[in-house]
Amino acid sequence: MPRYKNFDIAIYFTTRCIASIHSMEAFEKDFGFFEKHLKCSKVYIETHRDDMDPGREKLLQLKQFFENKGIEVSGAITTTFMKISRNKPMIDETGIYGCGGSILGNAGNAEQQVEKGYKKEWATLCYTDEASRQRFKEIVEFAASIFDEIILDDFFFTNCTCPACIESKGEKSWEAFRLELMTEVSENLVVKPAKAVNPQVKMIIKYPNWYEAYQETGYNPETQPDIFDLVYTGTETRDTNHSMQHLPRYGSYSIVRWFENLKPGRVGGGWIDQWNSIQNINYYIEQAMLTFFAKGKELTLFCYSWLFDTVYIPPLGHELERLDRVIGEMGNPVGVAVYEPFHATGEEHLYDYLGMAGLAFEPMHQFPDKRSLIMLTANSAKDAAVLEKLKAHLLEGGDVCLTSGFLKEMAGRGIDEITSAKYTDKKVCSRDYMIDGHGSVFQGSFSGRDEITLPMVKYMNNAADCLIAAAKNDNNFPVLLKNSYGKGIVYTLTIPDDYAEIYQYPPEVLTVIRQYLMSDLGIYIEGREKIALFLYDNNTFILDSFRSEYSTRIKIHLSGAECRLMEIRSGKEVSVFMHKDSETVFEIEIQPMFYKAFKILQ
Binds Zn ion by CB under 5 A, chosen from 71, 162, 227, 281? 162
Q: Please, what is the minimum distance in Å from the beta carbon of residue 162 to Zn ion?
A: 3
Of 300, 252, 297, nearest in space to 76 by CA: 300
Binds Zn ion by CB under 5 A, chosen from 18, 104, 165, 203? 165
Do 370 and 397 contact (CB within 8 A), yes or no?
A: no
In this chain, which stretch among 29-37, 152-160, 241-249, 318-326 interacts with Zn ion, using CB under 5 A? 152-160
Convert residues 347-376 into a mask of x (bound to Zn ion by CB under 5 A) and - (unbound). ------------------------------
410 binds Zn ion (CB under 5 A): no
In this chain, which stretch among 79-87, 154-162, 528-536, 579-587 interacts with Zn ion, using CB under 5 A? 154-162
Interface with Zn ion: number of residues (CB under 5 A): 4
Do 525 and 533 contact (CB within 8 A), yes or no?
A: yes
Binds Zn ion by CB under 5 A, chosen from 103, 126, 421, 525? 126
Q: Closer to Zn ion at the Cβ: 218 or 234?
A: 218
Q: Closer to Zn ion at the Cβ: 15 or 124?
A: 124
In this chain, which stretch among 44-52, 153-161, 306-314, 555-563 interacts with Zn ion, using CB under 5 A? 153-161
Q: Closer to Zn ion at the Cβ: 132 or 403?
A: 132
User: What type of residue sits at position 85?
Assistant: S
Q: Please, what is the minimum distance in Å from the beta carbon of residue 153 to Zn ion?
A: 20
Q: Please, what is the minimum distance in Å from the beta carbon of residue 59 to Zn ion?
A: 30
Peptide bond into 303 cis (omega under 30): yes
* 3-state secondary structure labels for all residues of 529-596: CCEEEEEECCCEEEEEECCCCCCEEEEEEEECCCCEEEECCCCCEECEEEECCCEEEEEEEECCCCEE
Of 196, 210, 283, nearest in space to 251 by CA: 210
Q: What angle do CA 509, 510, 514 make, to 5 degrees?
A: 120
Question: 172 — phi, psi (to 5°)?
Answer: -70, 165
Distance CA 352, CA 38 (A): 30
In this chain, which stretch among 119-127, 234-242, 349-357, 506-514 interacts with Zn ion, using CB under 5 A? 119-127
Distance CA 192, CA 566 (A): 52
Do 85 and 98 contact (CB within 8 A), yes or no?
A: yes
Q: Closer to Zn ion at the Cβ: 162 or 213?
A: 162
Of 336, 389, 381, nearest in space to 363 by CA: 336
Q: Closer to Zn ion at the Cβ: 126 or 143?
A: 126
Q: Please, what is the minimum distance in Å from the beta carbon of residue 218 to Zn ion?
A: 12
In this chain, which stretch among 126-134, 256-264, 305-313, 488-496 interacts with Zn ion, using CB under 5 A? 126-134
Binds Zn ion by CB under 5 A, chosen from 73, 150, 151, 160? 160
- In the complex, which residues of this chain contact Zn ion (CB under 5 A)? 126, 160, 162, 165
